[in-house]
Amino acid sequence: MEKEAESYRTPSIRKFRWPVYCSSSMETKRTKILQFLVFSLFLVAPFIMAYEDVEKARLISARILPTFISTFTGLYRWAALGFLTVLSIYYLGRIRNYRITTPVVFISTFYFMQFLYALVDGEDYVRFFLMTVFSLLIPPVIGLAIKNDKKIIKYFIFCIFFFLIISIFLNGHLVLIGQRFLGFLNNPNTYGISTVFWLIILLLANYFQVINKKLFTFILIGLFFTMLFTGSRNAIAGMSLILIIKYYNQLNKMLVGVFLLLSVFLVISQFIDLSFLTSRFENIFQAASDSGRLDIWERAYYAINQNFWWGNGMDANLQIANTGNMHNSYIRFVLNMGIIFTIFTLLMYLFSIISTYTKRSKVPLILTGFLLVFAVANIGEDFFVGLGSSVFIYLLFIYGFINYFITRQNDTSR
């Protein structure tokens, strides 16, 4: 009877535990999602502006990508940034060495200062709130994707190769008819700053040894000449600075390379009229006047003098200068926010550069170089405030690499 009673006893209830592999599986899925989002964001970034300045592009017989590409990539960009922001918040405190570094804090504070002014002013605060959040949370998650698998940089290179080929295929003919090269971006200056960003990625791929020398050389030459034919002064100065920073220990080889490239340029000039490039350097002041920039700046100067200290409001560029693009971020800052907020805002960007440079034993100098180039490029464009532009995403990737290099510790791979 005792044995029979034992057989009817209720079995003990044990607390259910998920198998260890289940948690590992979920983490693997999150990692794959992260890698895909970062790669796809890099892929779609330049196409966001593929339909900008389309009327000007058509006037010079440029070939233009279908409208739906720009529309789709623009929408996808917001989705990717949103998901990456959520992932970044999730990873904070959960992953070892996953943190927001000092340069990233400073660039976020750079936008936060503008957000404060915009919030009080009641204009454009959504733009600067999003730029504050994205610049704080997206770089660390990009850095994590690089740390998880450096092959992602190799895929970035494949993207750049694709960008280069499609640019030449679409609008390589513009150089032959005496027009500035603009790739598939419909704007020579935007394509120019894009080539500087792509050069940084190319040099980092070489640093990590994920690219063979032939492909490296081909892309490097392609980026240099397509950038040169844009006639973008900022891009030419920027690419030159990056190459000097990278190869300053090999100046003899670099001078030989420059001599050969100039020789090729001179040979090309015998068959193609390149006056559209040389004329841009003969009289820079006249070039600024012809582009209408001086007219915009003159309208701003009067209002700046009237409200020099506290500015005219975040929409002053629209209300006073009658433009969404001042072609100079610094004039825009003083016009809109006044000199006091402008100084505090720009100090944050300066501190970001300095804090990156002080980590030069960890962070390649070319990344500091890009931040300097970006600051100079804003003399001619409003790249700093372009939430919807490709260039803002480029900046997030640069800070992503900076965050990666500062936070890596036991990662001995190059």
Domain ranges of the chain: 22-407
For residue 105 the two structure tokens come to 């804090």
For residue 68 the two structure tokens come to 């739906």
CB of 119 closer than 8 Å to CB of 376: no
Q: Is pLDDT above 70 for 60?
A: yes
Distance of CA 8 to the CA centre of its chain: 70
CB of 377 closer than 8 Å to CB of 238: yes
Average pLDDT rounded to a whole number, residues 104-113:
98
pLDDT by residue (tens digit) across 303-333?
Answer: 999 999 999 999 999 998 888 889 899 999 9
- 397 vs 22, which has greater pLDDT? 397
pLDDT by residue (tens digit) across 248-287?
Answer: 877 776 677 777 777 777 777 667 777 777 776 666 555 5
CB of 207 closer than 8 Å to CB of 414: yes
End-to-end CA gap in the chain: 73
Q: Is pLDDT above 50 for 16?
A: no
352: how many CB neighbours lie within 10 A of its CB? 24
CA nearest 400: which of 43, 103, 165?
Answer: 103
Rounded CA-CA distance 84/314 in Å is 28
State the pLDDT confidence band at 356, using cuts at 50, 70 and 90: very high
For residue 109 the two structure tokens come to 């504070």
For residue 312 the two structure tokens come to 């005219």
Residue 109 CB partners (closer than 8 Å, separation 6+)? 348
State the DSSP code for 11.
P
Does the model's pTM come out above 0.85?
A: yes
Per-residue burial over 79-90, b if 16 or more Cβ lie within 10 Å, else e, is: ebbebbbebbee
Max Cα–Cα distance, the chain, nearest Å: 110
Cα→Cα distances 144→156, 321, 366, 367, 390, Å: 15, 42, 20, 17, 21
CB of 244 closer than 8 Å to CB of 147: no
pLDDT at residue 19 in the model = 46
Rounded CA-CA distance 248/265 in Å is 23
Rounded CA-CA distance 64/174 in Å is 12
pLDDT by residue (tens digit) across 401-410?
Answer: 999 999 986 4
Average pLDDT rounded to a whole number, residues 388-393:
94
* Helical H segments across 208-292, by residue range: 213-228, 233-247, 251-269, 275-282, 284-290
232: how many CB neighbours lie within 10 A of its CB? 29
Q: Is pLDDT above 80 for 9?
A: no
* Helical H segments across 45-171, by residue range: 54-59, 67-91, 102-121, 125-148, 151-171
List % helix, strand, coil for the chain (3-state, nearest 5). 75, 0, 25
Residue with token string 């190319």: 202
